[in-house]
Amino acid sequence: MPLDKAGVAAALDENIDAIRTYVEDDDDLVERYQEAFRNLPTMGTAEELRSELSQYSYPGAVPVDGFDSCDSLINHHAQSDAWESHEAVNDWARELLMDVPMLAADGSEIPPTTQFNVPLAYVQAAWCLNHHKPEGKLERARDGKLLGPTDVTRTGGEEGDEEYQFVDSSLVGLHRYEHEAAVLVEQIEELAADYKSNESDHPPIVLYDGPLVVSFANPKRPAVRTRYLEAVSRILAASQHHEIPVVGYVAGTNAVELSKMTRLLLQEDFGGDRTIPDARVLTGMMSPWGDATIPFLCRRDGSVDALKASYKGQKYRFANEIHFSYLKVPPGAGLDRLEFPGWLLDTTAPDGYKNLYEYTLTMIRAEAGVGRGYPEILQQADTDAVLNHQDREQFLRLLQSWGERNDVPIEWNAKALSKELRRR
């Protein structure tokens, strides 16, 4: 049967107040946070504010030394003031990006085959490297991995029951994450070797589609959470070891670190108020295109303290290394969040840039300009990585054919077979 459109419409009407409350903040509260954000640079030095926040294990955000040289949390992108068309954005962006290698990776998955008597799954990571050469030079590839029954099942049971084995679909997401991280580390290593051999004046940049602060893993089982943390830690270690900037790009963020920090610093003013997303506060303080916040150290939760890895015989810890800033690139009123390792702030960059972070931010801003609001290189990686419904159907047919050729008894279960026959 088709979607019950009338039923969906009625349900939306019944929940209008809850939905409106979620998407609309009290204007007065937003304005109060905006005023507080404007006043933060006058409240003390970075060291003084760090000292005040040190009583909290996770105050959300912490100012870094660059805070002392700014009079606003917002760095205005003045060049965009004169733009009147997207062609102007393109002209500016393409000139900046010329000869700057930029790489991105993304992943996708086919969930476990619950239709058969054997659970199998498939994960795929795609990477794309745009050298931004005048003649055009784009490298891209996909790397897939088959997940067997032991990869997608686990045992469990309540007390007093015999342990049983069941398919855990969430394990496929974990394997995809690890596979994507492994592909990204391999590409960082190749980028570094190529960069050093060519002695280029344009350091390559790696964009990771998602956060480097993996708070999403906190509710998971300890062993699974550890594997997520190890995967992202290895990316960070490879980045630092080879001095290749890596940035986690989060589109449309709802993070609250700056608001939480502000509420803790101004408890008399905000102690009884809720913390609202940073983007809700900042977007009204920014001009239409290209503005970014100054960097802050991320102190969200315990996931930042657990970031550590051994790589190439060296040990790396990132508990106080993950920084973030917000970037405004239309369309839409939301902000994107950039998460990056702190060594970028202390590393020299090509002439015209204060440090490697400023260079990286400028190039990401330009890449987002070319992509009309979202980095084009990430769009390409996503397109290459995605596994759609047709791919899933083909995967099932391949498994069935393979089983028949090799005399492996892969059989449909009754429910899945019934659905398949009805849909033909």
Structure confidence at residue 331 (pLDDT): 80
CA triple 398-403-404, angle to 5 deg: 100
Residue 314 lies in a domain: yes
> Do 395 and 381 share a domain, yes or no?
no
Domain containing residue 423:
390-424
Q: At what angle do helices 257-265 and 46-53 cross, to 10 degrees?
A: 80
> Do 138 and 223 share a domain, yes or no?
yes
> Do 308 and 420 share a domain, yes or no?
no
Asked if 190 contacts 244 with a C-beta cutoff of 8 angstroms, the reply is no
> Do 147 and 207 share a domain, yes or no?
yes
Residue 273 lies in a domain: yes
Of residues 347 and 413, more confidently modeled: 347
Structure confidence at residue 25 (pLDDT): 56
The model's pLDDT over 67-76, given as tens digits with 9 standing for 90+, comes to: 999 999 999 9
68 Cβ neighbours under 8 A, 6+ residues apart: 45, 46
Structure confidence at residue 421 (pLDDT): 36
**How are beta strands 296-299 and 322-327 bridged, if at all?**
antiparallel
> Do 141 and 229 share a domain, yes or no?
yes
Alpha helices, H only, 321-355: none
Residue 11 lies in a domain: no
Residue 12 lies in a domain: no
Could you give the dihedral angle defined by the CA atoms of residues 17, 19, 22 and 23, in that order, rounded to the nearest 10 degrees?
A: -110
Residue 284 lies in a domain: yes
CA distances, 300 to each of 20, 61, 257, 350 (Å)? 27, 7, 7, 32
> Do 218 and 342 share a domain, yes or no?
yes
- Kindly tell me if the per-residue pLDDT of 412 is higher than 70: no
Bridge partners, residue 126, by sequence: 106, 142
- Kindly tell me if the per-residue pLDDT of 49 is higher than 90: yes
Structure confidence at residue 157 (pLDDT): 55
pLDDT mean over 320-339:
91
> Do 314 and 228 share a domain, yes or no?
yes
Residue 159 lies in a domain: yes
Highest mean pLDDT, choosing among 4-18, 107-121, 334-348: 334-348
- Report how many domains make up the chain: 2
Structure confidence at residue 418 (pLDDT): 40
Q: Round the average pLDDT of the chain to a whole number and report it.
A: 90
Distance in angstroms (rounded) separating the CA atoms of residues 361 and 375: 12
Residue 18 lies in a domain: no
Q: The whole model's pTM is what?
A: 0.90
> Do 382 and 400 share a domain, yes or no?
no
Confidence of residue 22 (pLDDT cuts 50, 70, 90): low
Distance in angstroms (rounded) separating the CA atoms of residues 323 and 344: 10
Residue 367 lies in a domain: yes
- Kindly tell me if the per-residue pLDDT of 268 is higher than 50: yes
- Kindly tell me if the per-residue pLDDT of 246 is higher than 70: yes
